[in-house]
Chain A
């Protein structure tokens, strides 16, 4: 799973969001590292929808334009969780080694 995809899915874990809210939430969750352009977001949403990771849950008319909200599917949630565990395991390779070295190093 790409980092962009990971943060789009992570943005949806607390509930459905529309396009612009996903951009803002992904940016906030990644401390500003992921700045999604609109075209990139909608290509990603299309791919995630065809993969069954997200689905359209609501459609409202705002300022005369349709605005759809997207939510995580159970498959999308499971994929996100699995990837998060992989990242955590990879992080532990470094963080736990640092702790171990600190514990065994002579005073």
Chain B
């Protein structure tokens, strides 16, 4: 085997090893993989990629049942806060300027409340990722109050698509505030998820942006598929996405119950179909937790 070939293999592995966070022993990992094989193999490449991914997403830490539940609850609260913030975006003042200018019935207070809710939910995301659980819980509860005020503009807030995210997030953030263990991560990816979530999650954006109506209905299925695949690496992810599914299901159940059409077969079938992705996600999380290879 030529030196050039060895150097090329080393360079290719080094690129993958550099994906690990800085606190990992990158030199040692590269040394080990080069001792294991003289060739660049798909098996080693895949294991380094998934290892780096696990390390970057916090899936490489040992968690007992209680720690796993707490960590999954934290991810679920963050996912719900992203959805709540995305809903606030639609109702916030600067984004709804046209409607405010054209309306004479005083909707400014609703839009202002929407902006306040957005700021509070973003604050909750940042503080929850940084480990300040009590501040996050306070921001999530205040954000919920502001969300209720802003969503009242369109009638009963509890019936609106995706509105369940704000109260569920406040509930989970409150539960986390009562625990002692703190996890910390970077808030950037959660904040970057808010703009696409406006269209991809059930936020009611379909009433404003008509193509979103189709996208929203399909996006959750795509998100479910991604989360099920992700469950092979991290069992917490399907739990977090299942929280979004439960939020969606609560809205559907309320619509069904308040319209008094319980027992109607097509409606029951619709509820069952709506619940299916959430059930699949919870099963994926359970299987992943039990069958983790490490």
Interface residues of A (CB under 8 A from B): 2, 4-5, 18-20, 23, 37-44, 46-48, 50-51, 62-63, 65-68
Contacts and interface: CB of A to CB of B under 8 A. Distances in A.
13 contacts: A2-B293, A2-B294, A18-B32, A19-B35, A38-B33, A38-B47, A42-B24, A42-B25, A43-B54, A43-B60, A43-B294, A46-B55, A65-B27
Interface in B127-176: none
B210 to A, nearest CB: 45
B115 to A, nearest CB: 41
B242 to A, nearest CB: 24
A42 B293 CA distance: 13
Interface in B210-228: none
B180 interface: no
B62 A39 contact: no
Contacts of B48: 37-39
B30 interface: yes
A41 B32 contact: yes
Most chain A CB inside 10 Å of its own CB: which residue of B25, B32, B47, B60: B32
Interface string B26-45: 01111111011000000110
B194 interface: no
Given A23-B32, A46-B60, A68-B28, A39 B49 contact: yes
A20 B25 contact: no
B32 A48 contact: no
A20 B293 contact: no
Nearest to B29: A42
B187 interface: no
B62 A48 contact: yes
Given A23-B36, A40-B47, A40-B294, A67 B31 contact: yes
Nearest to B37: A38
A68 B44 CA distance: 20
Given A39-B29, A47-B60, 13 more contacts: A19-B31, A20-B35, A23-B32, A37-B48, A38-B51, A39-B48, A40-B47, A42-B20, A42-B32, A42-B51, A46-B24, A47-B294, A67-B28
B61 A46 contact: yes
A39 B48 CA distance: 4
B80 interface: no
Most chain B CB inside 10 Å of its own CB: which residue of A18, A39, A43: A39
Contacts of B249: none
Contact of A68 (B25, B36, B51): B25
Given A38-B33, A46-B55, A47-B60, A19 B293 contact: no
Contact of A47 (B20, B36, B47, B61): B61
A24 to B, nearest CB: 9
B205 to A, nearest CB: 38
B109 interface: no
Report, nearest first, the 10 A-B pairs whose CB atoms are least far apart: A39-B51, A39-B47, A37-B47, A19-B32, A51-B62, A20-B35, A38-B33, A39-B48, A47-B62, A65-B27
Contact of A50 (B29, B36, B54, B62): B62
A20 B294 contact: no
Nearest to A22: B32
A40 to B, nearest CB: 5
Contacts of A67: 28, 31
A23 B47 CA distance: 14
